[in-house]
A and B are shown apart, each in its own frame.
Chain A
Amino acid sequence: MKTFNRVARSLMPAALGLALALALGAGCGDTGQQRVEFPLRAVGNARAASFDAFGWQITLDRAELSFGPLYLCASEGASAELCATARAEVLAAARVDLLAAREREIGIAHGTSGTMRSAMYDFGITWTTTQPVPTVQPSAPGGHSLRFEGRATRGAQRFAFVADVDLLPPARGFRAVQGRRVDATDALDARALVVGFDATAWLSQIDWDALAQLAQDPVVITPDSKAANAIVIAIAASAPPTFRFLGDTP
């Protein structure tokens, strides 16, 4: 019994150490970051249904594009090399109605916590590292990135037009749009991401006079035409989609 008491007493420091360590560590803490999820919503511009472009009155009957896949990246230069690991992504391309004024959910972004500073994305046509040629996603309207149908009127001149525009990735393993800076937001704080598309700005870049001189009805704007080129540069560089993260106060 005496031996037992002595043993017990000498074990006390170890027991205390054990208890202390348990208190410190049991179930305490994790590795810091978390997986996050937030919806991706798209909104068009109802004004695009009918607007003025340098004297021409443009009326759109149909304006659709395919948006996605989208990657949101930690560095400001979202690109294949600077975004090998993305903060959040939406892998599916979804159809967006550019004439809708109300937001519509087009996907769920999955990712991890951390700051997002830029985005890279495709418009329904992807060219991954393992594909020899670009692939058109099922949501692409008519097999193209964008499709517009409408009428242009200026005084007595009027014609209908149909436009197919492709935003092609420049090379294998790239996205159509890279390095699109967004407001730095922590993915943990993001409740939703709203991407806004303004078709008026894009169509305003077209030289409508030149189209009128084609004297066709309907004018067919093919992906390799100058007008399509103007739309591509507008979407990619002059009036790109706006990215707005919604926080806790929607």
Chain B
Amino acid sequence: MKSKLAPLLLALALTLGACGGDSGGPGTVQVFIEAEDTIPGGLEPGSGDENVVDGWKVTYTKFLVGVGNFRAARTSDSTDRFDSDRVLVVDLTKVPSSGLILATFENIAATRWDQIGYDLIGADTDSVKADGTAQADFDDMVNNSWSLHVVGQIEKAGDVVTFDWGLNAATAFDDCAPPQGDAGFAVPSGGTVQVKPTIHGDHWFFTNITQGAEITQRRAQWIKDSDLDSDGNVTLDELGQVKASDVFPAAQYNLSGALIPITTARDYFVAQAHTLGDFQGEGECPTRKIL
């Protein structure tokens, strides 16, 4: 009797114990801020697709941005979202090699989150200074409410033109997608996904306002041509006095698709500053809004 019951009980236990588990528990999202290689590394002259074709070499000594307000939602459930209001002020030429974490979210549903966004935003007193960023630079950003502060130079055959541009080009970037595949990212259950908004640093050397893939040329001559007083330094005011049609010949440039009208060289720079936010390296965040 006992031997007859045993398999029956075992079988019943197996059947009843089957709970039909689903995809498992939630996961963690870690948001890193990544600087495109052109920021610490600059741009080289040359004829390749990644070079500056009119012979200028570009280097940055400072590249500060205010970045934050990361948010995520999903089309499959519009009520579910998570976000953070942390804003980081970071000098992208001095990002620590271990990476820079903007925010960490735990207990996130293990599904695909396909409506991702973040801001490049003006610094204020609530902003956090990133490790490695100089205090003085941070104070500059906060006091002026700048979202972007770049300092660098272009150089060709001994001719050097420097620039120091700080401004508020606050932009919200949304609908970010990796270079291939569906928008957003998927959270693995019980695991961590690393998500990397990437700040690009060479957009004002592009010959167009890129929307999708960065199929463009890089040119720097317009900066030299905007040095109205030939003092080897170009200020934002000088850029504001240069007509766009003078330094951006139609044979080389296509300025359509900007968020603001472009009449002067400064407008061009600001318009390109509104496109710096990318995702997972070369992925785009095409939905942009001026804040």
B 260-278 binary contact with A (CB < 8 Å = 1; else 0): 0111000100010000000
Partner of B284, one of A82, A174, A233: A82
A 65-92 binary contact with B (CB < 8 Å = 1; else 0): 0000000000111111110000000000
Closest chain B residue to A235, Cβ basis = B256
- Cβ contacts A to B, 20 pairs, < 8 Å: A75-B175, A77-B212, A79-B210, A79-B257, A81-B212, A174-B215, A178-B208, A178-B209, A179-B256, A179-B258, A180-B256, A229-B248, A232-B245, A232-B250, A233-B250, A236-B254, A236-B255, A238-B261, A238-B262, A240-B256
- Min Cβ gap B70→A in Å is 19
**CA of A181 to CA of B175 in the docked complex: distance in angstroms?**
15
Q: Which of A226, A229, A230 has the most CB of B within 10 A?
A: A229
Partner of B251, one of A224, A230, A238: A224
Q: Is the CB of A179 within 8 A of B245?
A: no
- Min Cβ gap A39→B in Å is 24
Q: Is the CB of A233 within 8 A of B211?
A: no
**CA of A179 to CA of B212 in the docked complex: distance in angstroms?**
9
Q: Which of A78, A167, A179 has the most CB of B within 10 A?
A: A179
Chain B residues in 8 Å Cβ range of A228: 250
Taking the complex as formed, is B99 at the interface, i.e. its CB lies under 8 A from any CB of chain A? no
- Min Cβ gap A129→B in Å is 13
Chain A contacts to B: CB under 8 angstroms: 75-82, 117, 167-168, 170-171, 174, 176-181, 205, 224, 226, 228-230, 232-234, 236-240
**CA of A177 to CA of B257 in the docked complex: distance in angstroms?**
7
Chain B contacts to A: CB under 8 angstroms: 175, 207-213, 215, 243-246, 248-251, 253-259, 261-263, 267, 271, 284, 286-288
Chain A residues in 8 Å Cβ range of B257: 77-79, 177-180
**CA of A181 to CA of B211 in the docked complex: distance in angstroms?**
11
**CA of A68 to CA of B102 in the docked complex: distance in angstroms?**
44
Known: A82-B284, A224-B251, A232-B250. A238 touches B263 (CB 8 A): yes
**CA of A236 to CA of B212 in the docked complex: distance in angstroms?**
18
Chain B residues in 8 Å Cβ range of A81: 211-213
Q: Is the CB of A181 within 8 A of B244?
A: no
**CA of A67 to CA of B244 in the docked complex: distance in angstroms?**
24
Q: Is the CB of A229 within 8 A of B249?
A: yes
**CA of A236 to CA of B253 in the docked complex: distance in angstroms?**
11
**CA of A167 to CA of B255 in the docked complex: distance in angstroms?**
11
**CA of A234 to CA of B256 in the docked complex: distance in angstroms?**
10
Chain A residues in 8 Å Cβ range of B261: 237-240
**CA of A82 to CA of B210 in the docked complex: distance in angstroms?**
11
Known: A76-B288, A233-B245. A170 touches B208 (CB 8 A): yes
Chain B residues in 8 Å Cβ range of A117: 287
Known: A76-B286, A82-B286, A229-B250. A178 touches B258 (CB 8 A): no
Chain B residues in 8 Å Cβ range of A238: 244, 261-263, 267
**CA of A233 to CA of B262 in the docked complex: distance in angstroms?**
8
Partner of A82, one of B212, B255, B256, B271: B212
Partner of A237, one of B207, B211, B251, B256: B256
Known: A170-B208, A176-B254. A237 touches B262 (CB 8 A): yes
**CA of A79 to CA of B284 in the docked complex: distance in angstroms?**
12
Partner of B287, one of A75, A79, A232: A75
Chain A residues in 8 Å Cβ range of B245: 205, 226, 229-230, 232-234
Closest chain B residue to A121, Cβ basis = B256
